[in-house]
Amino acid sequence: MNPFLESIMNVMETMAQMKANPQKPFKKEDNKSRGDVTGIIGMAGEQTKGSLAISFLEPTIVHITSQILMEKISQLDETVVDMVGELTNVVSGGAKSILAERGYKFDMAIPTMVVGKNHVITHKTTGPIIVVPFETVAGKFFVELCFLR
């Protein structure tokens, strides 16, 4: 889990110029999203397989997208949804690099985006889902990890 958290904090600081502060993790007991837009990506390797989901509240991702693109974005649109996919891809790639240094090798799928209030997140494995809420100056987002060994 730590490589993913390290990667998301690094991506938010370098791409969006803001700190992402992790809050207390918890085990997810349902499949409902905590955010309005989610990027999900599957990963598989010899040692483990699983998925990462990053779910943003609408005002949070609109602000983050504005910050990254250095232009005023005022609503959830295709540009914002594309940014969720890009962030999901960059975070998983960063975690993949950290894990490769520790001997774990993964293949990654292409991120899928899901939009809408109370949407369902379907992870690629049936293992426990751990959610780490994050606080930023832009608002909240949630990182979900589900891996099986």
Per-residue model confidence as pLDDT tens digits over 7-66:
999 999 999 999 999 999 999 998 999 999 999 998 887 777 889 999 999 999 999 999
Q: Are 54 and 88 in contact (CB under 8 A)?
A: yes
Domains of the chain as residue ranges with CATH: 2-148 (3.40.1550.10)
C-alpha of 53 from chain center? 5
pLDDT, average across residues 77-106: 91
Please tell me the predicted confidence (pLDDT) of residue 19.
97
Tokens for 92, please give them.
């998983």
Give the DSSP H or E segment for 112.
Answer: strand 112-115
Q: Are 75 and 62 in contact (CB under 8 A)?
A: yes
Tokens for 139, please give them.
């608002």
Contacts of 89 (CB under 8 A, 6+ apart): 39, 41, 108, 110, 111
In percent, the amount of the chain with pLDDT more than 70 equals 99
- Our separate counts of H helices and E strands in the chain read 3, 8
Tokens for 59, please give them.
């005002």
Q: How far apart are CA 17 and CA 51, in angstroms?
A: 26
